[in-house]
Structure 1
Amino acid sequence: MNNLKVSLFTTCLGELFYVDMLKDVTEVLERLGCDVDVPEGQVCCGQPAYNSGYAEDSKAPAKQMITAFEHSDYIVCPSGSCAAMFHEYPNFFSLDPEWHDKAVAMAKKTYEFTQFIVHVLGVEDVGAEFHAKVTLHTSCHMTRLLGERDSHYKLLSHVKGLELVKLPNNYDCCGFGGTFSVKMAPISEQMVDEKIRHIEETKADVLVGADASCLMNIGGRMRRMGKSVKVMHIAQILNSHQREGESGNVNESGKSTVL
């Protein structure tokens, strides 16, 4: 399946800290035959307020996002957390039939990046090549709210040169949880430290994930601890290519380079 019209939800963290990741997402989708656009009018999806208990305050940004993506055929998000938020929107408007119907329509066409590639495009091998030992962090929202547990594994298993090592206790939260990491910092710190111990057990060169918020939390903590494991979004891996006969390395920025 190709030539699908896809609208990219860039997310707050994507726009502020991970612009290169958004480029990788776009290039992978275009290489698979999608027409990608970025609708104007995108704002925060409202998740920070919603997760902090301010459900009413989340309705305004939800309406803005529903309006911004109303004419999109598919919505793809490089974050399981933010994609899951779109699926929460129908609950916001259970007593408002007009907005409820629009929210349901939006949720039905919203997918996390890897979920879209595997389940909508029907692709498991995107032709990527990345020579490194990699372990995968599966985010809570993606696995527990979206119910997506396999798409990232399937895609990584077809990357040429990549050795995928299972992360012990991969189902454990990294401790970010949005405002949880701010309000419950001591607990959050212990959770991320436990996650890092398991990452080190794998002897992996690279930690990969599909949720920038988790990667920011884990990566930031590892940098402060002086750990050498690189942190990469799965889109960076899937957009990596190396010519035959050349070996790959991961540089200080987490990018794959050809030596």
Structure 2
Amino acid sequence: MNVQLFIPCFVDQLFPETAFNMVKVLEKLGCNVNYNPEQTCCGQPAFNAGYRDECKSVATKFVKDFRTYDYIVAPSGSCTGFVRNYYGKLFDNSATHNDVKLLKKNLFEFTEFLTEKLGVTNLGATLNGVGTYHDACGALRECGIKEGPRKLLENVKGLEMREMTDCETCCGFGGTFSVKFEPISVGMGEQKVLNAIDAGADYLISTDLSCLMHLDGYIRKHGHTVKTMHIADVLASGW
């Protein structure tokens, strides 16, 4: 199976190891993984800030870069959800309409691709400790991803999964929200981290590094020991 990687800009710049671990997992499952180095941002930051024209310019390039019949896999529910749910509005009644329909059909968040397209829930991973899962808004609300990541994590040897209070509540990042409404954002992040600690978690795990980056900032500032991990990093552990 041929797979094209969509690596969001912040993953490329700040968390490249997660992208490499995603490749490691996909190749273990027999996928032929390809990466187009011309790819850039999907346009979500500009869209959320109200710059629709600028977003459309970036999104037009994205559609061109991913004009393929291969599956497209991304380590981000947020970016996947944006392309899926908003590109149709951006390119409605345009010459790009059919390319966008194909893109939306082929694009999957990483765990969604593993569980729904490959039918895999056990990667043979090992990670000792207690984990708790944060339902990132993009994955849960934009893509409807809920059970898949949990099934994958339940099969990680040595990892005891515990649900924390308000696991579906937003962490407070929200992209530009964390800049425009910093006190509220920090308060929401604090509650999420404290809920993970109350659950006895060693690892706070999610599908989205944007959430984890926000939470890790709070954790580091306040000296907590809980560690944030993207699910791709968990699934690539121990083998």
- 1:125-204 equivalences under 5 Å are 125-204=122-201
Consecutive unaligned residues in structure 2, runs of 5 or more: none
Give the structure 1 partner of residue 238 of structure 2: 241
What does residue 65 of structure 2 align with? 68
- Give structure 1 stretches of 5+ with no counterpart: 243-259
Alpha-carbon contact 1:77-1:112 (below 8 Å) kept = yes
Query: SS of the counterpart of 1:40?
Result: coil
In the alignment, residue 211 of structure 2 is paired with which amino acid? C
For residues 112-159 of structure 1, what are the alpha-carbon distances to aligned partners after superposition, in whole Å with 9 as ceiling and x for unaligned? 000000000011111111111101111001100111111100100111
Query: Is residue 6–residue 72 contact of structure 1 (8 Å, CA) maintained in 2?
Result: no
> 1:120 matched to which residue of 2?
117
Once residues 143 and 117 of structure 2 are traced to their aligned partners in structure 1, the CA distance between those partners, rounded to angstroms, is: 15
Would you say 1:56 and 2:53 are equivalent positions?
yes
The sequence identity of aligned pairs, in percent, is: 39
8 Å CA contact 1:7, 1:72 repeated in 2:
no
User: For residue 58 of structure 1, what is the amino acid of its counterpart?
Assistant: C
How many residues were matched structurally?
238
How far 1:14 sits from its partner (Å)?
Answer: 1.0
Question: What letter corresponds to residue 188 of structure 2 in structure 1?
Answer: M
Distance in 2, matches of 1:130 and 1:191, equals 28
User: How many angstroms apart in 2 are the aligned matches of 1:213 and 1:23?
Assistant: 17
Superposition deviation, residue 31 in structure 1: 0.1
* Structure 2 SS opposite 1:197: helix
2:32 matched residue in structure 1: 35
1:92 corresponding residue in structure 2: 90
Q: Deviations over 1:176-212 (max 9, x none)?
A: 0000000111111111111111111111111111101
Aligned Cα root-mean-square deviation (Å): 1.0
Q: CA deviation at 1:56?
A: 2.2
**Segments ≥4 residues shifted beyond 2 Å:** none
Alignment partner, residue 108 of structure 1: 105
Match of 1:16 in 2: 13
**d(CA) in 2 for partners of 1:169, 1:31:** 34
CA contact (8 A) 2:69 2:102 kept: no
- Structure with bigger helix share is 2
1:209 matched residue in structure 2: 206
The answer to whether the Cα contact below 8 Å between 1:125 and 1:158 also exists between their aligned partners in 2 is: yes
SS of the residue corresponding to residue 165 of structure 2 reads: coil
Residue 253 of structure 1 corresponds to none
Bigger RCO (CA 8 Å, 6+ sep): 2
Indicate which of 225, 228, 236 corresponds to 1:228. 225
Instruction: Give the drift of 1:40.
Output: 2.8
Q: Match for residue 79 of structure 1?
A: 76
Partner letter of residue 9 of structure 2? C
Do the aligned partners of 2:46 and 2:55 also contact (CA within 8 Å) in 1?
yes
Name the TM-score, length of structure 2 as normaliser. 0.97
